[in-house]
Amino acid sequence: MVKLVATSVVRGSSQGESHGGVYLIDLHERAVDQVIDWDTANIDWQGRGADRGLRGIAFDGDTVYVAASDELFAYDTSFKLLDSWRCPFLKHCHEITVYERNLFLTSTGFDSIIGFDLDKKEFFWALHVDVKGFTFKASTYDPNGHDGPLALQKMHINNVIASDAGMYISGVRTGGMLHFNGKEIYMSATLPDGTHNARPFRDGVLFNDTKADAVRYVSREGTEDRSLPVPRYDRSELLFKGVDESKVARQGFGRGLCEISDHVVAAGSSPSTIAVHDLKANKTVLKVNLSMDIRNAIHGLEVWPYD
């Protein structure tokens, strides 16, 4: 049976408390093993998520890469820390992806994608995304220099997928999934505001429709539209439930998504829960809860590729 690896962010946690971690989830046994407890004090505590928790996950050989808000970490498969790297234009990172010998990170704070060379172990490339009216503009810059974009977070870029077909970029305020072909950037598919984890899937788009509390797959021609609700719990079961009134965190916030097969996907939500959805049957077939703390939200989610 498949194993998953997930990261979490504890929104609104205080200094001295855990504000996230890394978990291995055995779907067959429905067992959870927390392999990292992220409790560093060297973070920005302003805002809801701010610098808390761990974010995107990617793999290169026997190295596991995990992003924090402004730092990229490398671990071995037993989660022994190997190294870490920073650059001045990496801020509020969300998802990351590996393509060929490069790792790409979303720099949400700078509306950018940052490139990291996996062989040289250095940041080498950055792409800033801007929009004026209905026209998108992509411009490159040096992620190690001083002449870069302002930290405006206009589009809240939170996901990047790279493949032979190009780079797909999306976020809360991008209006949809963008496609960068190496020269130009344009809208590939329009999506609802507030989406997370949008990526090409089969002949359409798979994404967390976060505002609608659902995971959705929409075919390109619109002939198929699958929507699976995010798991919800009775309010009496929730911990720290009062924080939802202050909008620090809320139940049902969907984020974190990975493909298990061509019709089965896993998705994350808060309080930290992994749900497995069968798109063909249009039903949720399994769920595993990691925490009933409403502040504790899944962030990154991937299939664990190691035994």
Kindly report which listed range (7-11, 37-41, 44-48) carries the lowest average pLDDT score: 44-48
Write the CB contacts of 169 (distance below 8 Å, at least 6 apart in sequence): 106, 113, 129, 157, 159, 160, 177, 178, 179, 180, 185
Per-residue pLDDT, 241: 79
306/296 Cα distance (integer angstroms): 26
133/187 Cα distance (integer angstroms): 13
Per-residue pLDDT, 154: 94
Span 278-303, average pLDDT = 96
| Helix extents (H) in 116-260 | none
Per-residue pLDDT, 244: 60
Domain count, the chain: 1
Instruction: Look up tokens 């992003």; give the residue.
Output: 67
Reading the block at residue 53, the tokens are 């928790």
Span 31-60, average pLDDT = 72
Span 183-208, average pLDDT = 96
For 230-277, how does the pLDDT look when each residue is reduced to its tens digit (9 = 90+)?
999 999 999 987 766 545 578 999 999 999 999 999 999 999 999 999
Report which DSSP code applies to 154: S
What is the domain range of residue 127? 3-303
Kindly report which listed range (44-48, 108-112, 284-288) carries the lowest average pLDDT score: 44-48
pLDDT over 80 at 41, yes or no: no
CATH number at residue 53: 2.120.10.80
For 126-174, how does the pLDDT look when each residue is reduced to its tens digit (9 = 90+)?
999 999 888 999 999 999 998 999 999 999 999 999 999 999 999 999 9
Q: Give the angle 62-9-17 at the CA atoms, nearest 5°.
A: 110
pTM: 0.93
